[in-house]
Copies of this chain bind each other. A is one copy, B any other.
Amino acid sequence: MTDDNYISLFDSTLRDGAQTQGVDFTAADKIAISKALDCLGLDYVEGGWPGSNPTDDAFFAELPELENARMVAFGMTRRPGRSAANDPGLAALVNAKVPVVCMVGKASDFHVEVVLGIERDENLAMIRESTAHLAAHKDEVLFDAEHFFDGYISDPGYAMDCLKAAHEAGARWIVLCDTNGGTLPDQIGRIVEKVTAEIPGNHIAIHCHNDTENAVANSLVAVKAGARQIQGALNGLGERCGNANLVSLIPTLVLKTPWKIGVSEAGLRELTRVSRLLDERLNRAPNRHAAYVGDSAFAHKGGLHAAAVEKDSRTYEHVDPALVGNRRHIVVSDQAGRSSILARFRDLDIDVDVADDRLSALIETVKAREFEGYAYDGAEASFELLARRALGEVPRYFKLSRFRIMDDRRWNARGELVTESEATVTIVAGGAPRMEVATGNGPVNALDNAIRKALLPLYPQLEDMRLVDYKVRILTPQSGTAAITRVMIESADQAGRRWTTVGVSPNIIDASFNALHDGITWKLMQEGAEVPGPAS
Contact = CB atoms under 8 A, between A and B. Distances in A.
Interface string A188-208: 000000000000000000000
B477 A289 contact: no
A517 to B, nearest CB: 12
Contact of A22 (B288, B297, B308, B318): B288
A471 B22 CA distance: 12
A406 B26 CA distance: 34
A88 interface: no
A162 B483 CA distance: 49
A166 B387 CA distance: 44
Interface string A501-527: 000011111100100000000000000
A433 to B, nearest CB: 14
A494 to B, nearest CB: 13
Contact of A472 (B20, B224, B470): B470
A165 interface: no
A241 B481 contact: no
Given A257-B184, A297-B241, A24 B377 contact: yes
A115 to B, nearest CB: 5
Nearest to A291: B213
B469 A472 contact: no
Contacts of A468: 477-478
Nearest to A183: B318
A185 B256 CA distance: 12
B53 A335 contact: yes
Given A400-B409, A505-B419, A179 B220 contact: no
A133 to B, nearest CB: 21
Contacts of A85: none
Contacts of A181: 318
A299 B239 contact: yes
Interface string A278-291: 00000100001111
Main secondary structure of the interface of A (DSSP, over half): mixed
Interface stretch (A2-10, A34-42, A437-445): A437-445
Contacts of A466: 480
Interface string A449-493: 000000000000000001111111111011011010100000000
Contacts of A218: 217
A245 interface: yes
A443 B239 contact: no
A221 B318 contact: no
A364 interface: no
Contacts of A315: 110-111, 114-115
B213 A289 contact: no
A529 interface: no
A21 B331 contact: yes
A126 interface: no
Contacts of A131: none
Contacts of A139: none
Nearest to A307: B115
A182 interface: yes
Contacts of A510: 409, 419
A257 B182 CA distance: 12
A283 B184 contact: no
Given A28-B478, A509-B419, A21 B296 contact: yes
A252 B184 contact: yes
Given A28-B478, A407-B509, A185 B185 contact: yes
B111 A21 contact: no
A270 interface: no
A253 B477 CA distance: 37
Q: Which has the most chain B C-beta neighbours within 10 Å: A242, A305, A375, A472?
A: A472
A357 interface: no
Contacts of A297: 211, 240-241
A314 B180 CA distance: 9
A216 interface: yes
22 contacts: A21-B377, A21-B378, A24-B375, A26-B475, A110-B315, A114-B311, A182-B318, A211-B292, A212-B318, A214-B217, A214-B252, A217-B217, A240-B300, A283-B471, A407-B443, A407-B507, A409-B513, A419-B505, A442-B509, A443-B443, A469-B474, A471-B472
> Lowest 10 CB-CB distances: which A-B pairs, in order?
A182-B318, A217-B217, A442-B508, A213-B248, A22-B378, A180-B318, A405-B407, A213-B291, A472-B472, A283-B478
Given A403-B408, A441-B485, A468-B478, 4 more contacts: A239-B299, A239-B305, A241-B291, A419-B505
Interface of A: 19-22, 24, 26, 28, 52-53, 110-111, 114-115, 179-182, 184-186, 210-214, 216-218, 220-221, 224, 236, 239-242, 245, 248, 251-252, 256-257, 283, 288-292, 294-302, 305, 308, 311-312, 314-319, 329, 331, 334-335, 375, 377-378, 400, 402-411, 419-421, 440-445, 466-475, 477-478, 480-481, 483, 485, 505-510, 513
